[in-house]
Amino acid sequence: MRVARRAAAPHLALSIYNQCGRCGSTRLPAAPAMSNERRTKVVIVNTPTNRFLRACQRLPVDHTPVWFMRQAGRSLPEYRAVRERHSFFAVANSPEVCAEVTLQPVRRLGVDAAILFSDIMAPLVAIGLDIALVEGTGPVVAHPLRTQADLAALRPLDPDHDMPAVRETLGMLRAELAASDTALIGFVGAPFTLAGYLVEGKPSRDFVRTKQMMFDQPDLWDDLMRRLTDVVVGFAQGQIAAGAQAIQVFDSWIGALGPREYARYVQPHMRRLFDGLRAPGLPEVPRIHFGTGTASLLELMAEAGGEVIGLDWRVNLDEAWARLGGPARVAIQGNLDPVTLNASWTTVQREAETILRQAAGQPGHIFNLGHGVLPSADPATIERLVRFVHEFQA
Ligand code: CP3
């Protein structure tokens, strides 16, 4: 399990700020009860050198950081080889294999961050729900949740007991990624997107049963959303405690709602979720808030939480960033159309360049796709794109 692409230059800075050992974020030291002697002492700390973590904090970077949603997975032959021998959850539950699959894209592509190999349904499986990830279909739920009685299946997740393999995997990954100064991202699914699978029982286009519950049984809906929020907060807290340096919240299917529905039925739960990622004793890691079809929801999503907002490709990056207050207010991640990777290199280069020019080298842009890498994407094109983003000069 070797990853050594870039050597990390030790980057020490003189500062009066405390630095968090996990995420590299700096914080003002607690003021009270310092003797004069302590007060004048200069503390040597290091600001984050990893350009992904720096961009999350809107700090200047040498080159635009880049990683890809779904960078581990079926686009990589080395992933398909592992999956020939192990089922999806066998991979996710075996720390050695899970760490290996997480590192595959880091080695091959030279991205600035690794994302834990898991699935948004994993915490639900961890609390005992019967869910299969069916090849070519997606998550299939044996007993869809539709009544108050069904919700009893959604017990809270205990980060100390319900996710030992995930925690061990993250510990192994932090140790392995330190040499190349690559950041480690953890993630969870957002409650609306998870509810979509749990209520429908399978992937859906229109979310008819889900929205029916939302409209006609708002109390049941809020109970479902509250319970799902508790599960994902527990799973995210466990990942942060075990070494995840950033958390991405995937609300992949939230674009099914308009702004009024979002504000009433989802936003209060998302606020609670983002608040839950800040807890006493946990490092303050950057929170990335991502969804697709979100052109009419971006302001409401940003209000709910996140230091970084993930954009899909249906918006212009510069316009969306300006709507959210620009680099003074928030960092932005995105937003190349994933299908671009199936087009010619000339197209990839042109579209990537457009995005980089829209971001204009301002602090706080993380290059990514507007959604996940498709299984049909050519890894050679993805690797070339990483080099292009890193070498780009405005
Ligand atoms: O980004 C990464 O590299 C980490 C891996 C990752 C997976 N799922 C692995 C996976 C991540 C971040 C996810 C999140 C996820 N899962 C989301 C949010 C991101 C998005 O794409 O919107 C969603 C909606 C799911 C639900 C899900 N799980 C789907 C739609 C599928 C694909 C079904 C298919 O076969 O096309 C899955 C299964 C899944 N999760 C696979 C992988 C690599 C493929 C299954 C396999 O390898 O057998």
Q: Which is the catalytic residue, given 5, 83, 278, 384?
A: 83
| 326-357 tens-digit pLDDT | 999 999 999 999 999 999 999 999 999 999 99
CA of 139 to the centre of ligand 1 (A): 9
Domain encompassing residue 220: 51-391
Residue 72 vs residues 103, 261, 335, 358: alpha-carbon distances, Å: 8, 33, 18, 28
Q: How far is the CA of 83 from the centre of ligand 1 (A)?
A: 14
Residue 2 is among the residues annotated as catalytic for this protein: no
Q: Considering only CA atoms, which of 183, 197, 41, 177 is closest in space to residue 130?
A: 197
Distances (CA, A) of 13 to 18, 20, 91, 125: 11, 14, 40, 44
Whether residue 136 has its Cβ less than 6 Å from ligand 1 = yes
Q: What is the CATH number of the domain that holds 307?
A: 3.20.20.210
Residue type, 323: R
* Ligand 1 contact via 74 beta carbon (within 6 Å): yes
Q: Is the CB of 98 under 6 A from ligand 1?
A: no
Nearest by Cα to 50 from 161, 166, 177, 144:
177
Residue 51: active-site member: no
Distance of CA 373 from the midpoint of ligand 1 (Å): 10
What the block records as the tokens of 263 is: 């504000």
Residue pLDDT, tens place only, 81-126? 999 999 999 999 999 999 999 999 999 999 999 999 999 999 999 9
Q: Is residue 221 part of a domain?
A: yes
Ligand 1 pocket member 84 (CB < 6 A) = no
Asked if residue 5 is part of any domain, the answer here is no
**Rounded average pLDDT over 249-258:** 98
Q: Is the CB of 83 under 6 A from ligand 1?
A: yes
Q: What residue owns the CA closest to ligand 1's atom 17? A: 120
pLDDT at 39 over 90: no
pLDDT for position 46: 53
CB count, 10 Å around CB of 134?
A: 12
Q: Mean pLDDT, the chain, as a whole number? A: 91
The pLDDT value given to residue 47: 86
Residue 265 annotated to the active site: no
pLDDT at 255 over 80: yes
Cβ of 69 closer than 6 Å to ligand 1, yes or no, is: yes
Pocket test for ligand 1, best of 75, 83, 133 (most atoms within 8 A of CB): 133
Find the mean pLDDT for residues 53-57.
98
> What distances in angstroms separate CA 384 from CA 63, 73, 318, 349, 378, one per listed residue?
15, 18, 24, 9, 10
Q: Which of 326, 320, 380, 391 is nearest to 352 (CA)?
A: 391
- Least trusted range by pLDDT, from 3-7, 14-18, 155-159: 14-18
Residue 6 lies in a domain: no
The count of other CB atoms within 10 Å of the CB of residue 41 is 10
3-state secondary structure of 332: strand
- Work out the percent of the chain whose per-residue pLDDT is above 70: 88
Residue closest by Cα to atom 31 of ligand 1? 138
Report the percentage of the chain scoring pLDDT > 90: 87
On whether residue 261 sits in a domain, the answer given is yes
Distance CA 304, CA 176 (A): 34
Q: What gap in Å lies between CA 210 and CA 199, rounded to an integer?
A: 6
The CA–CA distances, whole Å, from 65 to 165, 193, 333, 366 equal 29, 27, 10, 5
Q: What are the pLDDT digits (tens) for 281-329?
A: 999 999 999 999 999 999 999 999 999 999 999 999 999 999 999 999 9
pLDDT at residue 12 above 60? no
- How many CA within 13 A on the CB side of residue 206? 3
Tell me, yes or no, whether 211 lies in a domain: yes
- Give a yes or no: residue 44 inside a domain: no
Helices (H) then strands (E): counts for the chain: 16, 13
Which residues lie below 8 Å from residue 313, measured CB to CB, with a gap of 6+? Answer: 334, 335, 336, 337, 338, 369, 370, 371
| pLDDT for residue 30 is more than 60 | no
- Write out the two tokens for 198: 């749990």
Measured in angstroms, how far is the CA atom of residue 74 from the centroid of ligand 1? 10
**Higher-scoring residue by pLDDT: 33, 84:** 84
Nearest to 318 by CA among 362, 254, 371, 286: 362
Strands 331-336 and 308-310: parallel
Kindly calculate the radius of gyration of the chain based on its CA atoms and give it in whole angstroms: 21
Cβ neighbours of residue 38 under 8 Å, at least 6 residues apart? Answer: none
How far is residue 172's CA from residue 208's CA, in Å, rounded to a whole number?
42
Helix, strand and coil percent figures for the chain, each rounded to 5: 45, 15, 40
Q: pLDDT tier at 394 (50, 70, 90 boundaries)?
A: confident
Is position 141 within any domain?
yes
pLDDT at 150: 98
Of 23 and 193, which is predicted with more confidence? Answer: 193
Q: Is the CB of 192 under 6 A from ligand 1?
A: no
- The answer to the question of residue 207 being in a domain is yes
d(C-alpha 304, C-alpha 324), whole Å: 12
Q: 81-118 burial, b if ≥16 CB within 10 A, otherwise e?
A: ebeeeeebbebbbbbebbbbbbbbbbbbbbbbbbbbbb
The number of domains in the chain is 1
How does pLDDT run across 138-187, given as a tens digit for each residue?
A: 999 999 999 999 999 999 999 999 999 999 999 999 999 999 999 999 99
